[in-house]
Amino acid sequence: MSTIGVIAAVLATLGIILYAVLAATWRVIHDDGRLRLAEMLRRQGAAPELTLNVGGYQTAIAVRRCMLCARKSECDQWLPSGAQRGMEAFCPNADFVARMSDPLRA
């Protein structure tokens, strides 16, 4: 009986991993190719061309988060608004953008 439980747990874990991979692949395939992170940085007063070139590991993580983000539609609604605040509610990179746009926090 315990063998069946172990097999069921392994299959459930593999199912979760497969779902996560397929969901991420779906988002990348159906993306328009824009890196919204650059637009977010620009909106907050940071120079994306400098930040994205010198940010190192933290920038790599932020770019990956942006590329795989499930909330791009909210981002696409917020960016044209001209607002400076409010992205914190949906953007997984809000802290990174705040750090990069404030030289004292970077």
From the list 36, 80, 82, the residue with the least C-alpha distance to 62 is 36
Contact 100, 43 (CB under 8 A): no
What pLDDT is stored for residue 65 in this prediction?
Answer: 92
Q: Are 62 and 96 in contact (CB under 8 A)?
A: yes
Greater model confidence, 70 or 51: 70
Residue 104 has pLDDT above 80, yes or no: no
Q: Are 87 and 97 in contact (CB under 8 A)?
A: yes
What's the whole-number average pLDDT of the chain? 85
- Residue 29 is which amino acid? I
Residue carrying the six token digits 């977010």: 40
For 66-83, what is the mean pLDDT? 89
The more confident residue out of 52 and 93 is 93
pLDDT band at 30 (very low <50, low <70, confident <90, very high): low
What is the arithmetic mean of pLDDT over 35-52? 85
